[in-house]
Structure 1
Amino acid sequence: KTSIINGSEVSRLSVAIQGQPMFPLLQIRVDELPVVPEQLKDVALLVLYHNLESHPFDKPHGEGWLIREYATLEGLELLPATDTPYRAFPVRWVSVNDDAPGWEDAWDIIDLADVNDDEEASNRFFDDFNRYRGTKVGGYPTEIQHGAGIQDFVFQVGSEEKVNWMWSDNGIGYFHKSPEGIWTFSCQFY
Protein backbone atom coordinates (compact mmCIF):
# COMPACT_ATOMS: atom_id res chain seq x y z
CA LYS A 1 0.00 0.00 0.00
CA THR A 2 1.01 3.57 -0.63
CA SER A 3 0.08 6.98 0.73
CA ILE A 4 0.03 9.66 -1.94
CA ILE A 5 -0.81 13.35 -2.02
CA ASN A 6 -1.65 16.04 -4.54
CA GLY A 7 1.13 18.37 -3.35
CA SER A 8 3.69 18.80 -0.59
CA GLU A 9 3.30 20.68 2.66
CA VAL A 10 5.90 23.37 3.14
CA SER A 11 5.52 25.14 6.47
CA ARG A 12 7.17 28.26 7.82
CA LEU A 13 10.25 26.64 9.37
CA SER A 14 13.88 27.30 8.67
CA VAL A 15 17.20 25.78 9.60
CA ALA A 16 20.83 26.14 8.61
CA ILE A 17 23.10 23.14 8.26
CA GLN A 18 26.85 23.73 7.90
CA GLY A 19 26.15 27.42 7.22
CA GLN A 20 23.80 26.67 4.32
CA PRO A 21 20.23 28.02 4.58
CA MET A 22 17.68 25.21 4.57
CA PHE A 23 13.89 25.12 4.39
CA PRO A 24 11.36 22.35 5.05
CA LEU A 25 10.46 20.89 1.68
CA LEU A 26 8.11 18.33 3.22
CA GLN A 27 6.62 17.63 6.63
CA ILE A 28 4.95 14.30 7.32
CA ARG A 29 2.69 13.84 10.32
CA VAL A 30 2.80 10.08 10.51
CA ASP A 31 -0.57 9.86 12.29
CA GLU A 32 -2.17 11.31 9.12
CA LEU A 33 -0.79 8.57 6.84
CA PRO A 34 -3.23 5.85 5.81
CA VAL A 35 -0.21 3.54 5.35
CA VAL A 36 2.88 3.76 7.56
CA PRO A 37 6.17 2.21 6.39
CA GLU A 38 8.06 0.16 8.98
CA GLN A 39 10.84 2.78 9.06
CA LEU A 40 8.37 5.40 10.38
CA LYS A 41 6.55 3.31 13.00
CA ASP A 42 8.16 5.16 15.94
CA VAL A 43 8.04 8.62 14.31
CA ALA A 44 5.35 11.25 14.96
CA LEU A 45 6.73 13.93 12.61
CA LEU A 46 9.31 13.80 9.83
CA VAL A 47 10.68 16.98 8.29
CA LEU A 48 12.74 16.98 5.09
CA TYR A 49 14.96 20.06 4.88
CA HIS A 50 16.55 21.11 1.60
CA ASN A 51 19.26 23.58 0.66
CA LEU A 52 17.96 26.95 -0.57
CA GLU A 53 20.92 27.45 -2.91
CA SER A 54 21.01 24.31 -5.06
CA HIS A 55 20.02 20.64 -5.24
CA PRO A 56 22.42 18.54 -3.16
CA PHE A 57 22.76 15.74 -5.70
CA ASP A 58 25.17 12.98 -4.62
CA LYS A 59 25.51 14.45 -1.13
CA PRO A 60 25.17 12.46 2.10
CA HIS A 61 22.59 13.17 4.76
CA GLY A 62 23.35 16.51 6.43
CA GLU A 63 25.05 18.07 3.41
CA GLY A 64 22.47 20.20 1.60
CA TRP A 65 19.56 18.06 2.78
CA LEU A 66 18.52 16.72 6.14
CA ILE A 67 15.73 14.63 7.62
CA ARG A 68 14.69 15.18 11.20
CA GLU A 69 12.48 12.66 12.93
CA TYR A 70 10.50 13.46 16.07
CA ALA A 71 9.01 10.74 18.29
CA THR A 72 6.38 13.13 19.65
CA LEU A 73 4.75 16.40 18.64
CA GLU A 74 4.85 17.68 22.23
CA GLY A 75 7.19 20.60 22.79
CA LEU A 76 7.77 21.32 19.10
CA GLU A 77 7.70 24.99 18.13
CA LEU A 78 7.68 26.75 14.77
CA LEU A 79 10.94 28.39 13.82
CA PRO A 80 11.00 31.88 12.31
CA ALA A 81 9.66 32.24 8.77
CA THR A 82 12.06 32.01 5.85
CA ASP A 83 11.38 33.67 2.53
CA THR A 84 11.41 31.02 -0.21
CA PRO A 85 10.03 30.84 -3.74
CA TYR A 86 7.92 27.85 -2.66
CA ARG A 87 4.27 27.93 -1.70
CA ALA A 88 2.90 26.16 1.37
CA PHE A 89 0.40 23.47 0.43
CA PRO A 90 -1.48 21.27 2.92
CA VAL A 91 -1.01 17.54 2.70
CA ARG A 92 -4.02 15.38 1.86
CA TRP A 93 -2.86 11.76 1.93
CA VAL A 94 -4.75 9.13 -0.06
CA SER A 95 -4.37 5.37 0.25
CA VAL A 96 -3.86 3.40 -2.96
CA ASN A 97 -3.72 -0.37 -3.38
CA ASP A 98 -2.41 -0.56 -6.94
CA ASP A 99 1.06 1.02 -6.83
CA ALA A 100 3.46 -1.06 -8.91
CA PRO A 101 7.24 -1.05 -9.34
CA GLY A 102 8.88 0.09 -12.55
CA TRP A 103 10.60 -2.29 -14.94
CA GLU A 104 14.07 -2.31 -13.40
CA ASP A 105 12.90 -2.38 -9.78
CA ALA A 106 10.43 -5.18 -10.55
CA TRP A 107 13.37 -7.47 -11.39
CA ASP A 108 14.29 -7.34 -7.68
CA ILE A 109 10.92 -8.98 -6.93
CA ILE A 110 10.44 -11.43 -9.81
CA ASP A 111 12.24 -12.73 -12.89
CA LEU A 112 10.65 -10.90 -15.83
CA ALA A 113 12.43 -12.86 -18.57
CA ASP A 114 9.18 -14.39 -19.82
CA VAL A 115 7.50 -10.97 -19.85
CA ASN A 116 10.50 -9.54 -21.67
CA ASP A 117 10.17 -12.23 -24.39
CA ASP A 118 6.44 -11.64 -24.93
CA GLU A 119 5.53 -8.30 -26.58
CA GLU A 120 1.91 -8.38 -25.38
CA ALA A 121 2.95 -9.17 -21.80
CA SER A 122 5.61 -6.47 -21.94
CA ASN A 123 3.09 -3.90 -23.18
CA ARG A 124 0.67 -4.90 -20.41
CA PHE A 125 3.40 -4.44 -17.80
CA PHE A 126 3.82 -0.82 -18.88
CA ASP A 127 0.17 -0.04 -19.70
CA ASP A 128 -1.89 -1.96 -17.13
CA PHE A 129 -0.13 -1.07 -13.86
CA ASN A 130 -0.23 2.23 -12.00
CA ARG A 131 2.86 4.10 -10.95
CA TYR A 132 2.46 7.34 -9.01
CA ARG A 133 4.95 10.09 -9.87
CA GLY A 134 3.96 12.57 -7.19
CA THR A 135 4.95 12.80 -3.56
CA LYS A 136 4.16 9.57 -1.75
CA VAL A 137 5.05 7.52 1.31
CA GLY A 138 5.53 3.78 0.97
CA GLY A 139 4.82 1.67 -2.07
CA TYR A 140 7.39 1.66 -4.84
CA PRO A 141 9.61 4.46 -6.12
CA THR A 142 8.57 5.67 -9.56
CA GLU A 143 11.59 5.23 -11.80
CA ILE A 144 12.33 7.71 -14.57
CA GLN A 145 15.73 6.74 -16.00
CA HIS A 146 16.52 3.48 -14.19
CA GLY A 147 15.66 1.55 -11.06
CA ALA A 148 15.47 3.73 -7.96
CA GLY A 149 15.81 0.81 -5.55
CA ILE A 150 12.95 -0.73 -3.61
CA GLN A 151 15.03 -1.93 -0.66
CA ASP A 152 14.64 0.44 2.31
CA PHE A 153 12.46 2.84 0.24
CA VAL A 154 10.40 5.14 2.51
CA PHE A 155 9.11 8.05 0.42
CA GLN A 156 9.54 10.10 -2.72
CA VAL A 157 9.04 13.79 -3.38
CA GLY A 158 7.79 14.54 -6.85
CA SER A 159 8.05 17.78 -8.78
CA GLU A 160 4.94 19.54 -7.51
CA GLU A 161 3.51 22.43 -9.55
CA LYS A 162 1.20 23.61 -6.74
CA VAL A 163 4.16 24.39 -4.48
CA ASN A 164 6.42 25.61 -7.30
CA TRP A 165 8.89 22.77 -6.61
CA MET A 166 10.86 20.97 -9.31
CA TRP A 167 13.79 18.56 -9.24
CA SER A 168 15.67 19.72 -12.34
CA ASP A 169 13.52 18.60 -15.30
CA ASN A 170 10.32 17.26 -13.63
CA GLY A 171 12.25 14.77 -11.57
CA ILE A 172 11.61 12.79 -8.41
CA GLY A 173 13.67 12.69 -5.22
CA TYR A 174 13.87 9.28 -3.49
CA PHE A 175 14.50 8.78 0.21
CA HIS A 176 15.59 5.47 1.71
CA LYS A 177 16.36 4.57 5.33
CA SER A 178 18.56 1.59 6.16
CA PRO A 179 17.85 -0.73 9.10
CA GLU A 180 20.74 1.06 10.86
CA GLY A 181 18.82 4.36 10.56
CA ILE A 182 20.93 5.92 7.79
CA TRP A 183 18.99 8.11 5.33
CA THR A 184 20.03 8.29 1.67
CA PHE A 185 18.77 10.53 -1.12
CA SER A 186 18.87 10.11 -4.89
CA CYS A 187 17.11 11.83 -7.74
CA GLN A 188 16.13 11.06 -11.31
CA PHE A 189 14.80 13.44 -13.93
CA TYR A 190 14.16 13.67 -17.65
Structure 2
Amino acid sequence: MKPESALVLEELRSKLRPASVAQVGGFRPGADPLTSWFLKGVCLPGEGLPVWKGQPMFPLIQIRTDELPVIPEQLKGIALLVLFHNREHHPFDQPHGEGWLIREYATLEGLELLPELETPYHPFPVRWVSVNDDAPGWEDAWDIIDLSEVNDDTQASDSFFDDFNRYGGTKVGGYPMEIQHSVGIKDFVFQVGSEEKVNWMWADNGIGYFHRSAEGIWQFSCQFY
Protein backbone atom coordinates (compact mmCIF):
# COMPACT_ATOMS: atom_id res chain seq x y z
CA MET A 1 0.00 0.00 0.00
CA LYS A 2 1.29 3.45 -0.87
CA PRO A 3 2.07 5.74 2.09
CA GLU A 4 -0.30 8.40 0.74
CA SER A 5 -3.16 5.90 0.61
CA ALA A 6 -2.40 4.64 4.10
CA LEU A 7 -2.67 8.20 5.42
CA VAL A 8 -6.10 8.63 3.79
CA LEU A 9 -7.35 5.41 5.37
CA GLU A 10 -5.97 6.52 8.72
CA GLU A 11 -7.89 9.78 8.38
CA LEU A 12 -11.02 7.78 7.58
CA ARG A 13 -10.59 5.86 10.83
CA SER A 14 -10.79 9.15 12.69
CA LYS A 15 -14.23 9.76 11.17
CA LEU A 16 -15.91 6.51 12.22
CA ARG A 17 -19.23 7.04 13.99
CA PRO A 18 -20.96 5.38 16.93
CA ALA A 19 -24.33 3.74 16.32
CA SER A 20 -27.08 1.81 18.07
CA VAL A 21 -27.59 -1.53 16.29
CA ALA A 22 -30.85 -3.42 16.76
CA GLN A 23 -30.98 -6.89 18.29
CA VAL A 24 -34.33 -8.31 17.16
CA GLY A 25 -35.77 -10.93 19.47
CA GLY A 26 -33.76 -13.59 21.23
CA PHE A 27 -34.97 -12.43 24.64
CA ARG A 28 -38.23 -12.43 26.56
CA PRO A 29 -40.29 -9.28 25.91
CA GLY A 30 -41.28 -7.16 28.87
CA ALA A 31 -44.80 -6.04 29.70
CA ASP A 32 -44.11 -2.33 29.16
CA PRO A 33 -45.51 -1.18 25.78
CA LEU A 34 -43.34 1.94 25.94
CA THR A 35 -40.25 0.23 24.61
CA SER A 36 -38.69 -0.50 21.22
CA TRP A 37 -40.63 -2.97 19.06
CA PHE A 38 -41.17 -4.17 15.55
CA LEU A 39 -44.88 -4.31 14.67
CA LYS A 40 -46.10 -2.83 17.95
CA GLY A 41 -46.58 0.80 18.86
CA VAL A 42 -48.31 3.33 21.03
CA CYS A 43 -50.29 6.50 20.48
CA LEU A 44 -52.09 9.27 22.30
CA PRO A 45 -55.65 8.53 23.49
CA GLY A 46 -58.02 8.80 20.53
CA GLU A 47 -55.19 9.05 18.01
CA GLY A 48 -55.39 5.49 16.67
CA LEU A 49 -53.71 4.21 13.54
CA PRO A 50 -52.92 6.69 10.77
CA VAL A 51 -54.89 6.20 7.57
CA TRP A 52 -53.66 6.31 3.97
CA LYS A 53 -56.02 5.91 0.98
CA GLY A 54 -58.78 4.89 3.35
CA GLN A 55 -56.80 2.06 4.94
CA PRO A 56 -55.03 2.00 8.32
CA MET A 57 -51.24 1.85 8.31
CA PHE A 58 -49.34 -0.43 10.68
CA PRO A 59 -46.45 0.39 13.05
CA LEU A 60 -43.33 -1.04 11.42
CA ILE A 61 -40.97 -0.03 14.22
CA GLN A 62 -41.20 1.87 17.48
CA ILE A 63 -38.01 3.43 18.88
CA ARG A 64 -37.71 4.65 22.46
CA THR A 65 -34.79 7.02 22.46
CA ASP A 66 -33.61 6.65 26.06
CA GLU A 67 -32.97 2.96 25.30
CA LEU A 68 -30.44 3.94 22.62
CA PRO A 69 -26.78 3.83 23.67
CA VAL A 70 -26.14 6.43 20.95
CA ILE A 71 -28.74 9.16 20.35
CA PRO A 72 -28.38 11.22 17.15
CA GLU A 73 -28.68 14.98 17.52
CA GLN A 74 -31.87 14.94 15.41
CA LEU A 75 -33.64 12.87 18.08
CA LYS A 76 -32.88 15.19 21.00
CA GLY A 77 -36.20 16.22 22.51
CA ILE A 78 -37.98 13.15 21.09
CA ALA A 79 -38.81 10.51 23.72
CA LEU A 80 -40.31 7.99 21.30
CA LEU A 81 -41.11 7.68 17.63
CA VAL A 82 -43.24 5.27 15.61
CA LEU A 83 -42.67 4.57 11.92
CA PHE A 84 -45.83 3.54 10.06
CA HIS A 85 -46.05 1.82 6.67
CA ASN A 86 -49.03 1.15 4.45
CA ARG A 87 -50.22 -2.38 3.65
CA GLU A 88 -50.22 -2.07 -0.16
CA HIS A 89 -46.71 -1.33 -1.39
CA HIS A 90 -43.42 0.34 -0.57
CA PRO A 91 -43.79 4.11 -1.04
CA PHE A 92 -40.48 4.62 -2.82
CA ASP A 93 -39.57 8.29 -3.41
CA GLN A 94 -42.72 9.51 -1.69
CA PRO A 95 -42.80 12.42 0.78
CA HIS A 96 -43.67 12.05 4.44
CA GLY A 97 -47.32 11.10 4.87
CA GLU A 98 -47.65 9.42 1.47
CA GLY A 99 -47.72 5.72 2.34
CA TRP A 100 -45.37 6.14 5.28
CA LEU A 101 -45.43 8.30 8.38
CA ILE A 102 -43.38 8.98 11.49
CA ARG A 103 -45.05 10.15 14.68
CA GLU A 104 -42.84 11.82 17.28
CA TYR A 105 -43.62 12.13 21.00
CA ALA A 106 -41.77 14.49 23.30
CA THR A 107 -42.90 12.59 26.41
CA LEU A 108 -44.03 9.06 27.23
CA GLU A 109 -46.80 10.35 29.44
CA GLY A 110 -50.31 9.32 28.42
CA LEU A 111 -49.32 7.00 25.58
CA GLU A 112 -51.33 3.80 25.12
CA LEU A 113 -51.16 0.73 22.89
CA LEU A 114 -52.26 1.10 19.30
CA PRO A 115 -55.09 -1.12 18.05
CA GLU A 116 -53.91 -4.44 16.64
CA LEU A 117 -53.92 -4.77 12.86
CA GLU A 118 -53.59 -8.04 10.97
CA THR A 119 -50.46 -8.18 8.81
CA PRO A 120 -48.18 -10.96 7.49
CA TYR A 121 -45.40 -9.69 9.79
CA HIS A 122 -44.35 -10.85 13.24
CA PRO A 123 -43.92 -8.57 16.27
CA PHE A 124 -40.56 -8.70 18.01
CA PRO A 125 -39.04 -6.64 20.80
CA VAL A 126 -35.83 -4.74 20.07
CA ARG A 127 -32.73 -4.21 22.15
CA TRP A 128 -29.92 -1.88 21.11
CA VAL A 129 -26.21 -2.71 21.01
CA SER A 130 -23.59 0.01 20.99
CA VAL A 131 -20.87 0.09 18.30
CA ASN A 132 -18.21 2.76 17.86
CA ASP A 133 -16.73 1.98 14.47
CA ASP A 134 -19.42 2.41 11.81
CA ALA A 135 -17.84 3.44 8.49
CA PRO A 136 -19.42 5.10 5.45
CA GLY A 137 -19.81 3.34 2.12
CA TRP A 138 -17.64 4.18 -0.89
CA GLU A 139 -19.81 6.89 -2.42
CA ASP A 140 -20.89 8.52 0.82
CA ALA A 141 -17.30 8.57 2.09
CA TRP A 142 -16.33 11.08 -0.62
CA ASP A 143 -18.48 13.65 1.19
CA ILE A 144 -16.10 13.60 4.16
CA ILE A 145 -12.73 12.60 2.68
CA ASP A 146 -10.88 12.66 -0.66
CA LEU A 147 -10.38 9.02 -1.68
CA SER A 148 -8.43 9.73 -4.87
CA GLU A 149 -5.25 8.15 -3.51
CA VAL A 150 -7.19 5.08 -2.38
CA ASN A 151 -8.95 4.83 -5.73
CA ASP A 152 -5.59 4.54 -7.49
CA ASP A 153 -4.18 1.94 -5.11
CA THR A 154 -5.61 -1.59 -5.39
CA GLN A 155 -4.37 -2.67 -1.96
CA ALA A 156 -5.80 0.44 -0.33
CA SER A 157 -9.11 -0.03 -2.14
CA ASP A 158 -9.31 -3.60 -0.87
CA SER A 159 -8.57 -2.33 2.64
CA PHE A 160 -11.39 0.23 2.39
CA PHE A 161 -13.92 -2.52 1.77
CA ASP A 162 -12.39 -5.30 3.89
CA ASP A 163 -10.95 -3.59 6.97
CA PHE A 164 -13.79 -1.28 8.01
CA ASN A 165 -17.07 -2.25 9.65
CA ARG A 166 -20.33 -1.21 8.05
CA TYR A 167 -23.46 -2.26 9.90
CA GLY A 168 -26.48 -3.31 7.88
CA GLY A 169 -29.82 -4.29 9.33
CA THR A 170 -31.64 -1.88 11.59
CA LYS A 171 -29.66 0.82 13.39
CA VAL A 172 -29.90 4.37 14.73
CA GLY A 173 -27.03 6.75 14.11
CA GLY A 174 -23.78 5.91 12.38
CA TYR A 175 -23.69 5.98 8.59
CA PRO A 176 -26.29 4.62 6.17
CA MET A 177 -25.31 1.23 4.75
CA GLU A 178 -24.99 1.64 0.98
CA ILE A 179 -26.29 -1.11 -1.29
CA GLN A 180 -26.43 0.43 -4.76
CA HIS A 181 -25.10 3.98 -4.51
CA SER A 182 -24.79 7.00 -2.21
CA VAL A 183 -27.54 7.32 0.39
CA GLY A 184 -26.56 10.69 1.80
CA ILE A 185 -24.87 11.38 5.12
CA LYS A 186 -26.48 14.75 5.87
CA ASP A 187 -29.39 14.50 8.33
CA PHE A 188 -29.24 10.67 8.44
CA VAL A 189 -30.99 9.37 11.57
CA PHE A 190 -31.79 5.67 11.24
CA GLN A 191 -32.25 2.76 8.87
CA VAL A 192 -34.57 -0.24 8.96
CA GLY A 193 -33.22 -3.42 7.45
CA SER A 194 -34.95 -6.44 5.97
CA GLU A 195 -35.52 -8.42 9.17
CA GLU A 196 -36.01 -12.17 8.73
CA LYS A 197 -37.59 -12.80 12.12
CA VAL A 198 -40.12 -10.05 11.52
CA ASN A 199 -40.78 -11.40 7.99
CA TRP A 200 -40.14 -7.87 6.76
CA MET A 201 -38.32 -7.16 3.50
CA TRP A 202 -37.74 -4.05 1.40
CA ALA A 203 -38.00 -5.47 -2.15
CA ASP A 204 -34.93 -7.76 -2.54
CA ASN A 205 -33.29 -7.73 0.92
CA GLY A 206 -33.12 -3.94 0.96
CA ILE A 207 -32.75 -1.20 3.55
CA GLY A 208 -34.99 1.79 4.21
CA TYR A 209 -33.23 5.02 5.20
CA PHE A 210 -34.72 7.87 7.22
CA HIS A 211 -33.34 11.40 7.35
CA ARG A 212 -34.64 14.33 9.40
CA SER A 213 -33.84 17.92 8.50
CA ALA A 214 -33.08 20.69 10.98
CA GLU A 215 -36.65 21.87 10.39
CA GLY A 216 -38.00 18.48 11.50
CA ILE A 217 -38.96 17.21 8.02
CA TRP A 218 -38.52 13.46 7.53
CA GLN A 219 -37.38 11.90 4.24
CA PHE A 220 -37.39 8.24 3.22
CA SER A 221 -35.34 6.39 0.61
CA CYS A 222 -34.63 2.73 -0.07
CA GLN A 223 -31.99 0.60 -1.77
CA PHE A 224 -32.03 -3.12 -2.46
CA TYR A 225 -30.13 -5.84 -4.31
Fold match by TM threshold 0.5: yes
Alignment check: 8 A CA contact 2:137 2:177 kept = yes
Q: Which runs of 5+ in 1 are unaligned?
A: none
SS of the residue 1:161 aligns to: coil
Q: Say yes or no: does 1:94 pair with 2:129.
A: yes
Q: 1:3 aligns with which of 3, 10, 20?
A: 20
Q: Which residue of 1 aligns with 2:180?
A: 145
1:16-165 pair list within 5 angstroms? 16-165=51-200
Cα displacement string for residues 3-32 of structure 1 (whole angstroms, at most 9, x for unaligned residues)? 001336221664323423210101000010
Q: Please report how far the alpha carbon of residue 147 of structure 1 lies from its aligned counterpart in structure 2 after TM superposition.
A: 0.7
Q: Please report how far the alpha carbon of residue 181 of structure 1 lies from its aligned counterpart in structure 2 after TM superposition.
A: 0.8
Q: Please report how far the alpha carbon of residue 34 of structure 1 lies from its aligned counterpart in structure 2 after TM superposition.
A: 0.2
SS of the residue 2:161 aligns to: helix
Q: Which runs of 5+ in 2 are unaligned?
A: 1-17, 25-36, 43-48
- Rg comparison, structure with higher value: 2
Cα displacement string for residues 55-79 of structure 1 (whole angstroms, at most 9, x for unaligned residues)? 1111100000000000001011112
Q: Please report how far the alpha carbon of residue 155 of structure 1 lies from its aligned counterpart in structure 2 after TM superposition.
A: 0.2
SS of the residue 2:127 aligns to: coil
Partners in 2 of 1:102 and 1:70 — Cα distance? 32
Q: Which residue of 2 aligns with 1:167?
A: 202
Sequence identity (%): 76
Cα displacement string for residues 110-142 of structure 1 (whole angstroms, at most 9, x for unaligned residues)? 000000000000000000011111000000000
Alignment check: 8 A CA contact 1:20 1:64 kept = no
The structure 1 segments of at least 4 consecutive aligned residues displaced by more than 4 Å after TM superposition are none
Alignment check: 8 A CA contact 1:10 1:26 kept = yes
Partners in 2 of 1:155 and 1:74 — Cα distance? 24
Partners in 2 of 1:109 and 1:9 — Cα distance? 33
* Gap change, CA 1:12 and 1:27, over 3 Å in 2: closer
Q: How many residues align?
A: 190
Partners in 2 of 1:12 and 1:118 — Cα distance? 49
Normalising by structure 1, we get a TM-score of 0.97
Higher mean alpha-carbon deviation, 13-22 vs 170-179, is at 13-22
Alignment check: 8 A CA contact 2:41 2:61 kept = no
SS of the residue 2:150 aligns to: helix
